[in-house]
Structure 1
């Protein structure tokens, strides 16, 4: 009986000793600190073929969003031409970049504290045949890196590196 109690006590002490060395994530000063994103764009050599099959540049619109529901329901022209009306209070901020075929571009942004999603809209010439929209999840107070591939007629995204902001 004493051996069992002694063994249980030793195990409890061992577990407590191990857990002391696990440091919790550093708290972030100010609960409203925004996220940061790094977007690594890679445009395919055959990007956005024109009438003669020649590759052409595309405009990529970036939307900081509180919620992606209205973004996902809207059509291309509503987002490209009437974003504020179409997205209403879900739209926090917006920007755009122009990418040439074969181009690699890195965009770094500090997001508004209210932003929880980043919507991407790619202006392909053949919208009815293209996958032109993507949504990136960006939880608060974290840095994120995304790889964004602009294929001939499709945008693909992948999370490359999330991390928690450290307090300074």
Structure 2
């Protein structure tokens, strides 16, 4: 009787695993990023809000990304990140806006990094990183605040 139960459990587990693989082939895994942008982002010298540029990086590792300065990542990410950089994109976000950004992740993506080009970069929290699952279906939120960016899944 125990062997029969074990056999049934093995069959159920195998079918469930096959179903997940089949779903990934029919509907490609994706990560949907929602950017919530504060109305007071990136103030100029007169405290008026200004748009920001956000660079999005798909990374196989975050070690190099975490240890670079803003200008190196912003101006020449390919040379500094090397093989860790799988894909990149760039967006301009307006104060007080909300943007839904769908991503189809590279199969080797393990992290998604965000770099925000604030006017006062020395005082800003300009970098955020999230762990990514290239086989999953995740929704993440990136909050772009006055002079700080925060990402959460």
* d(CA) in 2 for partners of 1:62, 1:30: 27
Q: Say if 2:134 is the partner of 1:140.
A: yes
Instruction: Give the TM-score normalised by the residue count of structure 1.
Output: 0.77
5+ long unaligned stretches in structure 1: 1-8, 160-168
CA RMSD in angstroms comes to 2.6
* d(CA) in 2 for partners of 1:154, 1:34: 32
Q: Determine if contact 1:28/1:141 at 8 Å carries over to the other structure.
A: no
* d(CA) in 2 for partners of 1:149, 1:57: 14
Instruction: Give the TM-score normalised by the residue count of structure 2.
Output: 0.84
- Corresponding position of 1:109: 103
- Corresponding position of 1:164: none
Q: CA deviation at 1:128?
A: 1.0
Looking at CA atoms only, which structure, 1 or 2, has the larger radius of gyration?
A: 1
* d(CA) in 1 for partners of 2:147, 2:56: 18
Q: Say if 2:115 is the partner of 1:121.
A: yes
Q: Determine if contact 1:34/1:113 at 8 Å carries over to the other structure.
A: no
Aligned length: 145
